[in-house]
């Protein structure tokens, strides 16, 4: 599929994906969501870390495209929300780490896109929010599910009920992002983090992600059982044999993702 709104860079196991719709500050319409869904469904198998960012200096993703949503009826609104939620869930469950490098506005669907990534780092100029109630709607791409999980119900309800928009330093304080950086340092910081991940065992990272994601809604006994099973699976991998042999032999490990 040819993409009109995505820019893709592949480099030694790291893929950088830029949402690129500058006239709308990278707002998500159904076309962009379908392109994004096709991309993640067919991601280059050589990709070991995915970085998602926005094209341009002002915006990560400014939200969903209001010019498209304004004319939707109830059924069409449902279908639009389901499309976004499905694509974001696919990103969340990719078997590789996904880093959101939030370079500007991350509002509405943009905040929801950032939240479905494993890790969020932000420019000092970034702004986050779920301002949908000011438009007569609610977050529709899983924001009411993920935001309380990340920052707690109280603050999530305040942000959603008031449409409050917060700056990067506040997002850092409440745990919505992991770190903040000067704009010119944001992508290098994401790449530095990605390279650290490349040095580790790919299968182990994938299983760790699976454990964290699936534990999201489990009770303690089920969660501990799942972790034990996935821990056991590691011992059937060549990466585990190599990693432990390298440690005992005091040499760098050479992982092959097997």
Active site residue 132: yes
**Catalytic residue chosen out of the listed positions 57, 76, 92, 112:** 112
Active site residue 112: yes
**Catalytic residue chosen out of the listed positions 35, 92, 132, 227:** 132
Tokens coding 56:
């341009």
Could you give the maximum distance between any two Cα atoms of the chain, in Å?
Answer: 65
User: Is 81:215 a contact under the CB 8 Å cutoff?
Assistant: no
For residue 226, give every residue at least 6 positions away whose Cβ sits within 8 Å of its Cβ, in sequence order, or none: 211, 214, 215, 218
User: Is 142:89 a contact under the CB 8 Å cutoff?
Assistant: yes
Q: What's the per-residue H, E or C state across the chain?
A: CCCCCEEEEEECCEEEEEECCHHHCCCECHHHHHHHHHHHHCCCCCCCEEEEEECCCCEEECCECHHHHCCCCHHHHHHHHHHHHHHHHHHHCCCCCEEEEECCEEECHHHHHHHHCCEEEEECCCEEECCHHHHCCCCCCCHHHHHHHHHCHHHHHHHHHHCCEEEHHHHHHCCCCCEEECHHHHHHHHHHHHHHHHCCCHHHHHHHHHHHHHHCCCCHHHHHHHHHHHHHHHCCCHHHHHHHHHHHCCCCCCCCCC
Catalytic sites, residue numbers: 112, 132
């Amino acid at each position: 599929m040819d993409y009109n709104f995505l820019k893709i860079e592949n480099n030694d196991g790291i893929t950088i994906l830029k949402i690129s719709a500058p006239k709308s500050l990278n707002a998500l319409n159904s076309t962009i969501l379908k392109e994004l869904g096709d991309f993640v469904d067919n991601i280059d198998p050589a990709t070991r870390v995915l970085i998602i960012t926005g094209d341009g200096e002002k915006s990560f993703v400014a939200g969903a495209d209001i010019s498209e949503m304004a004319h939707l009826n109830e059924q069409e609104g449902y279908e639009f929300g389901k499309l976004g939620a499905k694509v974001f869930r696919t990103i969340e469950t990719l078997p590789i780490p996904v880093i959101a490098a939030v370079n500007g506005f991350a509002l509405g669907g943009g905040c929801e896109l950032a939240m479905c990534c494993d890790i969020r780092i932000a420019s000092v100029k970034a702004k986050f929010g779920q301002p949908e109630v000011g438009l007569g709607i609610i977050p529709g791409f899983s924001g009411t599910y993920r935001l309380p999980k990340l920052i707690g119900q109280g603050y999530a309800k305040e942000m959603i009920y008031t449409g409050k928009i917060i700056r990067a330093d506040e997002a850092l304080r409440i745990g919505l992002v992991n770190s903040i950086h000067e704009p010119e340092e944001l992508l290098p910081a994401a790449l530095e983090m990605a390279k650290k991940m490349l040095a580790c065992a790919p299968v182990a990272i994938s299983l760790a992600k699976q454990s964290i994601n699936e534990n999201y809604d489990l009770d303690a006994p089920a969660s501990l059982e799942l972790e034990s099973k996935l821990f056991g699976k590691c011992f059937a991998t060549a990466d585990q044999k190599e990693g432990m042999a390298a440690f005992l032999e005091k040499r760098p490990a050479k992982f092959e993702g097997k």
